[in-house]
């Protein structure tokens, strides 16, 4: 098989065997293809496929190489381990960190997949290319849609920053935002007030139960009855203490003063650049791209 892939072979017509209709094979074995063959445990007599529930099992044949030779050939990138009980496990080396975090969310390229290509309107990808001197050149680019577009990372992010600083929200939309925040604040505040009132009512009821228990203790003569009533009183006092602590914690989490909240909302709506450009987490920064909508317009001089 390997010999045929190197030398190649011809495909002949089924009716006229003297007629060659195609050529196949003839491709030299590449380093990447060789490594793929080396990592396949089937050559050590170990198989792991869908029909085995992806669990490695020993084949009916011994394999072309031993497990020890397979492990030495892979140099730790893939290892076959056989326990004394006969169970087999195949472990792969953990990929480099830059390959694991290769998704859309990247702190190095926060606007990856968020900004569209000006030519084909598809989301830009991003990567860093290495020059002859070894220097990295990070850039956003689009190269899989019949054309090639590339813009340096700093240039694109400076353009976004300049655009963001020129955004303003109309008075009508500012009023709508303030109204929505006001409704949400009152909803949360009312919910907390109701919760605090429920805790207060429960404490009042427990105090009444404690007073009733003390009155009963005064008229009891039985030592057994006194013991149980005293245990009930201790339990009621513990519940009152726990509810008092919970009430204090809830009051500490009370929503900020309404006027201060609305003032901060108005400030950030009028200063969108501080919300977006000064976001501490660079990965979350593009999530505010919803602000780049018809609700905003560039300032005109």
Give pLDDT tens digits for 121-131: 888 888 888 88
Whether the predicted pLDDT of 17 surpasses 70: yes
pLDDT of residue 280: 59
pLDDT of residue 294: 39
Q: State the DSSP code for 28.
A: P
Q: Which residue has the higher pLDDT, 271 or 115?
A: 115
H-only helix segments in the chain: 2-7, 31-38, 67-74, 97-100, 153-165, 171-219, 223-252, 258-270, 272-277
Other beta carbons less than 10 A from residue 281's beta carbon: 9
With tokens 């593009």, the residue in question is: 286
* Residue 45: Cβ-neighbour burial (10 angstroms; 0-12, 13-18, 19+): buried
- Give the mean pLDDT of 260-279: 74
Q: Which residue has the higher pLDDT, 189 or 211?
A: 211
Check: CB of residue 33 under 8 Å from CB of residue 47: no
Q: Which residue has the higher pLDDT, 284 or 243?
A: 243
Whether the predicted pLDDT of 152 surpasses 90: yes
Which residues on adjacent β-strands are paired with residue 193?
A: none
Q: What's the first-to-final CA gap in the chain, in angstroms?
A: 74
């Amino acid at each position: 098989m390997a010999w045929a892939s190197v030398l190649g072979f011809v495909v002949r017509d089924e009716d006229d065997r003297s007629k060659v209709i195609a050529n196949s094979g003839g491709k030299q074995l590449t380093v990447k293809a060789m490594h793929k063959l080396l990592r396949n445990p089937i050559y050590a007599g170990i198989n792991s496929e869908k029909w085995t529930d992806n669990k490695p099992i020993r084949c009916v044949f011994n394999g072309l190489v031993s497990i020890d030779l397979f492990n030495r050939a892979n140099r730790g990138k893939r290892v076959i381990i056989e326990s004394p009980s006969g169970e087999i496990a195949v472990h792969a080396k953990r990929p480099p960190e830059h390959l694991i975090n290769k998704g859309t969310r990247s702190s190095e390229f926060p606007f990856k997949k968020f900004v569209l290509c000006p030519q084909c309107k598809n989301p830009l990808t991003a990567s860093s290319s290495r020059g002859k001197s070894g220097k990295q050149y990070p850039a956003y680019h689009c190269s899989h849609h019949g054309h090639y577009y590339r813009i340096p990372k700093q240039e694109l992010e400076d353009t976004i920053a300049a655009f963001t600083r020129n955004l303003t929200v109309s008075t009508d939309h500012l009023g709508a935002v303030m109204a929505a925040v006001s409704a949400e604040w009152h909803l949360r505040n009312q919910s907390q007030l109701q919760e605090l009132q429920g805790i207060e009512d429960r404490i009042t009821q427990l105090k009444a139960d404690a007073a009733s228990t003390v009155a009963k203790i005064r008229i009891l003569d039985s030592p057994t009855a006194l013991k149980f009533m005293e245990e009930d009183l201790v339990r009621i006092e513990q519940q009152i203490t726990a509810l008092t602590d919970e009430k204090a914690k809830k009051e500490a989490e009370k929503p900020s003063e309404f006027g201060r909240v609305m003032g901060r909302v108005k400030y950030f709506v009028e200063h969108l650049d501080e919300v977006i450009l000064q976001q501490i987490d660079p990965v979350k920064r593009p999530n505010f791209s919803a602000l780049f909508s018809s609700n905003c317009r560039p300032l005109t001089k």
